[in-house]
Structure 1
Amino acid sequence: MARKFFKSSETSIMINRYSWRELIGIYCGIAVFLFFMLAPFIEGFLVSLKPLAQLFSSPYSFWPENGSFEAYRTMWISVPSFGRYIFNSLLISVVSTIIVLILVVPAAYAFARFRFKGMALVLGAFLAVSMFSGAVLLIPLFRLMRTLGLLNTYYAMIVPGAAFLIPSAIWLLRTYMMRIPPELNEAAYMDGASQFYTFRRVILPIARPGIIVVAIMTFIGAYAQQFIFALTFNSKTEYMPLPVGLFAYFGKQEVIWNELMAASFVGIAPAMVIIFFLQRYLVGGLTAGAIKE
């Protein structure tokens, strides 16, 4: 209790170092930053509440008049496979994240703990690969997927997506694992533990916050990059993720903007819920360390 009071006192002392002018400047800067970050989302949500005729009225009205959630209801009717699109996007993202974590966690540990010939070259190659856009390799990837018989399947979107996410994930998690004291490995070795046992029982619990961060970033990346791979490697409706499903429907004759915005917000809602719960575990894991209970 005393420690908690001491820490809160230290925090208040640090805050009180700023004058009222500096505090106003800090909060104004934060407000401006949040405005530019949240303004597109706020505008998109308000567009989903407006009647379609109001979107093209002059002068343009920012706040919706006679706004309603009608677009959210008609969107489900207009796009019968909308629920399937969301399921496909979540399935592709979750499976890609699992594959990346299975491959990246031991690889990042090896790059962080061991030194071997050519390690710098391999890490540099990972960094170079992560700079390439998936569009550059679409033709060779298409030929490869056709040869393997993976076109018009989930694998055609999962495998390339995971492959492009692995290099950046290794770099991110390797940096975190390098901060774990190597004395823990030495202490486990002195107690007779093998490398695998040390990795599984000592390193993984400590690296949990970093692994969750990598999982969040990988999930976001997998959810965001589905359009180009799905558009190229898939033509079946039952395998379409959300971005291609919306593109295929709303781009035929006209763009129904209020329904499109409604579909976009409904589509990102499951991903936001998953990320929210992962962030809760992340905050809880940040307080965990190499403390023996």
Structure 2
Amino acid sequence: MTTRSAMISRYRWWEVVLIYCGIAVFLSFVLAPFVEGFLVSLKPLSLLFSTPYSFWPENGSLDAYRTMWTSVPGFGWYIFNSFLISFSVTAVVLVLVVPAAYAFARFEFRGAGITLAAFLAVNMFSGAVLIIPLFRLMRSMGVLNTYLAMIVPGVAFLIPSAIWLLRTYMLRIPRELHEAAYMDGAGYLYTLRRVVLPIAMPGITVVAITTFIGAYAQQFIYALTFNSRTEYMPLPVGLFAYFGKQEVIWNELMAASFVGIAPAMVLIFFMQRYLVAGLTAGAVKS
């Protein structure tokens, strides 16, 4: 509290007002779609297109949250698939990224700079641009209509940004710790497991959370292209498959969307202190 007060006291009163007004305007643009979507889920369908439009729901209720479970067949299974794919992508990315980021942060080898630049170049391409080559690759591998068809592309597109993020954090770990471990006869893998991983855990937590969010958000295009079986559908494609074939019941669609993202929001809410700790710890060199 003292630190926050000291930081604010450096500004004049009108500067503080402008800062908070800017934050309020930014948050209003960010949160407005979520607020409107939640209010739409509370409105009866007959009032959604009424004139004049009422922002606040009149006669609002939770009926849409009850009826969506029967309106969307397999809704719970879609949520399970989304989390299974996201957790699988996150686990594979962490297993591959941790040693890779350690190698890029602590060793000098030929082609390291070009490889890191190539990782950035991968992020410049949209998944839609590569969807046809990816489809041919998935078909040649024989993994179409399986979970792997959605996990493999997710891992491939999330690894580059994860390596850059974790490498930046590992660069801030004092080199003296590595040298001391080497002087004691520790090998590279032992140093990574016993010395680096405990210190880098905040950074790994940040990578895990951002990877999970990315995997949860990018499921639609891969699942729509590489999968046609209902039992493997994640939530975005499951909702699209149902609401795209008949009249769009907007209040139930919004209710299903909020229920679908609620577990991810709860997870991020409880992990946010680790996320902030990891970002701030990686921002200051020890």
TM-score strictly above 0.5: yes
Q: CA deviation at 1:281?
A: 3.6
The answer on whether the counterparts of 2:105 and 2:170 sit within 8 Å (CA) in structure 1 is: yes
* CA RMSD between the two structures: 1.7
CA distance in 1, matches of 2:113, 2:251: 51
Q: Secondary structure at the match of 2:129?
A: helix
Tell me the equivalent position of 1:242: 235
Q: CA deviation at 1:125?
A: 1.0
The answer on whether the counterparts of 1:152 and 1:235 sit within 8 Å (CA) in structure 2 is: yes
1:122 paired to 2:112: no
- Decide which moves more: 201-210 or 187-196: 187-196
Q: Which consecutive unaligned segments of at least 5 residues does structure 2 have?
A: none
CA distance in 2, matches of 1:283, 1:36: 22
Deviations 1:72-105 (A, max 9, x none): 1111110120000000000000000000000001
TM-score by length of 1: 0.92
Tell me the equivalent position of 1:49: 42
TM-score by length of 2: 0.94
Tell me the equivalent position of 2:217: 224
- Decide which moves more: 248-257 or 278-287: 278-287
The verdict on how the C-alpha distance between 1:258 and 1:107 changes in structure 2, with shifts beyond 3 A counting, is same
1:139 paired to 2:145: no
Tell me the percent identity.
79
1:271 paired to 2:264: yes
Tell me the equivalent position of 2:145: 152
The answer on whether the counterparts of 2:206 and 2:279 sit within 8 Å (CA) in structure 1 is: no
1:89 paired to 2:82: yes
Q: CA deviation at 1:223?
A: 0.5
Q: Which residue, 56, 59, 75 being the options, matches 2:52?
A: 59
The verdict on how the C-alpha distance between 1:10 and 1:122 changes in structure 2, with shifts beyond 3 A counting, is closer
Q: Which residue, 195, 199, 205 being the options, matches 2:192?
A: 199
Q: Give the length in aligned residue pairs.
A: 282
CA distance in 1, matches of 2:214, 2:3: 39
Equivalent position amino acid for 2:212 in 1: F
- Decide which moves more: 72-81 or 129-138: 129-138
1:34 paired to 2:27: yes
Q: Which consecutive unaligned segments of at least 5 residues does structure 1 have?
A: 1-7
Q: CA deviation at 1:23?
A: 2.1
Q: CA deviation at 1:283?
A: 5.0
